[in-house]
Homo-oligomer: A and B are copies of this chain.
Amino acid sequence: MGAPEHRPTLQFDHVRQRSVHLAEPLSPEDCCAQSMPDASPVKWHLAHTTWFFETFILEPRGAGFRPFHPAFRVLFNSYYNGVGAKHPRPQRGLLTRPGLDQVLAYRRDVDARMVRLLAQSPHDRELAALVELGLQHEQQHQELILTDLKHLLSHNPLYPAYLDSPLAGAGPAEPLAWIAFDGGLAEIGHGGHGFAFDNELPRHRQYLAPFALASRLVSNGDYLEFVEAGGYRDPSLWLSEGWDLVARGTLRHPLYWVEGEAGEDWREFTLHGLQPLDPGRPATHLSLYEADAYARWRGARLPTEAEWEFAARDVAIACGDLHPRAAGSAGLAQMFGECWQWTSSSYAPYPGFAPAAGALGEYNGKFMINQYVLRGSSCATPHGHARASYRNFFPAGARWQFTGIRLAR
């Protein structure tokens, strides 16, 4: 993690409040259910992010520390072996107790203790760094709250909407253009003063051959051409593992596309409920297998993460709106705030990478296997959380995040 900036209590309150705010449209049942082992209940996210502050800040610093509830140490540990036992991940949805009310009380209790601690230690830079990490961690879970919830609601034949507001037609996307880059010896990795995760460090050199990136994300309209041209029936387009999924019937179209009955058009499940498929908006909820097959079909490829970062180094960061928007401007558009962009780079340590000491060293490093890097940010990424050096990562088959395609060649 980089050197922390000064983050007053105000910042703490702001991030913490937003998590609660995200849950407001939801019932206690909505917050409790778990739709697959990879996703977690909203209530669990609310508790786990609180556990993080309690376990990594209050407990080691609190003379006379007493936990809010002794069982929560196990219940809300996600994957930190260094902290001890964990509740089995696939059973998070069975935790009907503590109820949502109790979890909100847990949040208030930890928040009050944190605010007292922050007030007592205004110049404690190590504390500030841990708080910063805790808030960045919470922002990651804010995005997961939305994507895990969307996954849950998508299993309900009633297709419930999280947001009441209608989703207006986006209009056509800008025509796709190619932006060329010369490459050469590039500096990759976090280099500025703000926060960064350990996996963005150290900054290091990498040689890039000349390359070009598409000016915008692949749109629903673009992707529909692939579907209608039989892209899901031609094995020559697919990585072997991807074709296995296609042949088994697991991959047939983007995750939340809903095939119309005879004669009807495609629809797409969104946080606004079921909507007509909008050709101008970016295609999203795609696996790396689909992104790679689409690129091959277009005679293109996916960018490496270094290419992406090099291209993005001076791009202004946009903020998202809970569903991807159509590209509305020329130049290198939609790098941030719409869809995470699959790269062809496996998630690996940068040369000289050193994880943090103790249990927090488990934050990133131990996942550096069989995962692929996504760059940019999505329509569900919180304000202030995105940057050019950010490395998101998921297995190649993951589809429940807001993932999309940026072509390269």
Contact = CB atoms under 8 A, between A and B. Distances in A.
A258 B96 CA distance: 21
A71 interface: yes
Total copies of this chain within the assembly:
4
A27 interface: yes
A158 B71 contact: yes
Contact of A81 (B29, B93, B236): B236
A62 interface: no
Given A204-B209, A236-B81, A369 B30 contact: no
A207 interface: yes
The size class of the interface chain A forms with chain B is 35 or more
A242 to B, nearest CB: 7
Interface in A351-409: 351-352, 361-362, 366-370, 396
A366 B239 contact: yes
B97 A156 contact: yes
Among A75, A370, A396, the most chain B Cβ lie within 10 Å of the Cβ of: A370
Interface stretch (A136-144, A260-268, A326-334, A341-349): A341-349
A127 B179 CA distance: 41
A155 interface: yes
A157 B75 contact: yes
Interface of A: 27-33, 35, 43, 71, 74-75, 79, 81-82, 87, 91, 93-100, 152-153, 155-158, 160, 185, 204-207, 209, 235-236, 238-243, 288-289, 292, 301, 344-346, 348-349, 351-352, 361-362, 366-370, 396
28 contacts: A27-B28, A28-B28, A28-B29, A29-B32, A30-B96, A30-B97, A33-B33, A35-B94, A71-B157, A71-B158, A79-B240, A81-B235, A81-B236, A82-B235, A91-B155, A94-B156, A96-B160, A98-B158, A185-B185, A205-B207, A205-B209, A209-B351, A238-B366, A239-B369, A241-B370, A243-B366, A370-B370, A370-B396
